[in-house]
Amino acid sequence: MLIRVINPNTTRSMTEKIGVSARRVAAPGTRIVAVNPDSGPVSIESHFDEAISAVGVAEEVRKGEREGADAYVIACFGDPGLLAARELTRAPVIGIAEAAFHLATMIATRFSVVTTLGRTGIIAEHLLQSYGFAHHCRRVRAAEIPVLDLEDDGACALDRIVAECRRAKAEDGIGAIVLGCGGMADLADEIREAVGLPIVEGVTAAVKLAETLASLRLGTSKHGDLAFPPAKRFTGQFEHLSAQPGS
């Protein structure tokens, strides 16, 4: 089985870290290919960043289709371009936020999210509403860490995340914590040991869900709104997108 794990930002060191975490939980026989777009934001911390990065996600799915990927993971907690990516393939496409929310509800009746910045926490709240998990989530908390600090100042970032998780445990009346950033993929074990609660990390959750769907031969439905995009002409810098899968 081939799973293409897409880091929607362009920071290669984060992509490599995400790939290591994905391979650590992958089943024997599953091959993980961790990639990122060539163009786009170095980190994703706004609606604008997500909009730009969604094009890169779509490009990486198109590459994966040529390489025969069995499933895809979008390794950013905003799940940018998730539905567009699903339109481009019959394979399952899993966003790490959606995956983490699902798994958290299976091990606890209430959870909190600990993410990087307050503004991305608001985006996570929107996702909780749209995915139908808002009533399970007690609070979205921000450690107020720029995403790239997870790469450049890892020890300090870890301390701040652990402190926020401990506050969540003490104050929120929860049974589990969801980590709200793909760049935290390598920190889950240390946070779990320090906090003493189940810690749900989205990259690893999404990999296991992708494996499950692919092994059950449950691919993205091509009936309805996730059918392949209708053939049409694109212009300018997007002209190469005119030839869509299924057209």
Q: What is the pLDDT along the chain (247 residues), one digit of tens a residue?
A: 999 999 999 999 999 999 999 999 999 999 999 999 999 999 999 999 999 999 999 999 999 999 999 999 999 999 999 999 999 999 999 999 999 999 999 999 999 999 999 999 999 999 999 999 999 999 999 999 999 999 887 788 999 999 999 999 999 999 999 999 999 999 999 999 999 999 999 999 999 999 999 999 999 999 999 999 998 999 999 998 887 655 4
pLDDT at 244: 67
Task: Please name the helix (run of DSSP H) or strand (run of DSSP E) that holds residue 59, with its range, or none.
Answer: helix 47-67
Q: Which two tokens stand for residue 208?
A: 């296991």
Residue pair 183/14 in contact (Cβ under 8 Å)? The answer is yes
pTM of the model: 0.95
* Domain annotation for the chain: domains and CATH numbers: 2-95+205-242 (3.40.50.12500), 97-202 (3.40.50.12500)
Alpha-carbon span 99 to 52, nearest angstrom? 23
Report how far residue 232's alpha carbon sits from residue 162's, in angstroms, rounded to the nearest whole number. Answer: 49
- What is the Cα–Cα distance from 42 to 90, expressed in whole angstroms? 29
% helix, strand, coil for the chain, step of 5: 50, 15, 35
Q: How far apart are CA 151 and CA 203, in angstroms?
A: 17
With contact defined as beta carbons under 8 Å apart, do 200 and 179 qualify?
Answer: yes
Angle at 160 between CA 152 and CA 53, to 5 degrees: 55
Interatomic CA distance for residues 82 and 54, integer angstroms: 8
Q: How far is CA 186 from CA 34, 52, 151, 153, 201, in A?
A: 14, 26, 11, 14, 9
Alpha-carbon span 182 to 94, nearest angstrom? 13
